[in-house]
Amino acid sequence: MKIALGSDHCGFEMKKTLMPFFQTLKCEILDYGCDSTEPVDFPDISQKVCDAVRNGHSKRGILICGTGVGAAIAANKIPGIRAAVCHDFHSAHQAVEHDDVNVMCVGAQIVGPWLAEDLIRAFLNAKFSTEDHFVRRVKKLQQLEIAAAKEYLSQEPRKFL
């Protein structure tokens, strides 16, 4: 399986530590940075990982930052991406099974590498359920995304700080 992987500076050490683990899973890793503990802006890394998922270069994405929250916020701004912060085994697989999550966000300051391995394994092995109620709910998520984009694009340009 091809996986788009990215971290900010807070997640860099964990990402580096997890690379041998990915090899044991026989995953092909597309590493979108960062490459050191020098500060970077997580939205830039999130964009690269999510673009790889959206354009089909990878099946799923994994983002590692301090808490996972910032990466998830950035990822969920991108159409076609459903990202979730996962800090426990259950949410790592259920996010895929019930919500068709395609990007998992992990907090390097929240979980250790051994738990991150369990989360990654659960996330990558999970499959979206084709039960009607899950399919219906994901379709509704897509409709929300489309409606919000249309509304946003119809507004007058805003002045940003």
Q: Which residues are catalytic?
A: 65
DSSP-derived secondary structure letter, 10: T
Q: Is the dihedral of CA 149, 105, 87, 30 positive or negative?
A: positive
**Paired tokens of 27:** 């995953």
In terms of phi and psi (left: phi > 0; alpha: psi -120 to 50; beta: otherwise), the region of 19 is alpha
Q: Which residues of 10-24 are buried (b: 16+ CB within 10 A; e: fewer)?
A: bbbebbeebeeebee
Omega within 30 of 0 (cis) for the link into 34: yes
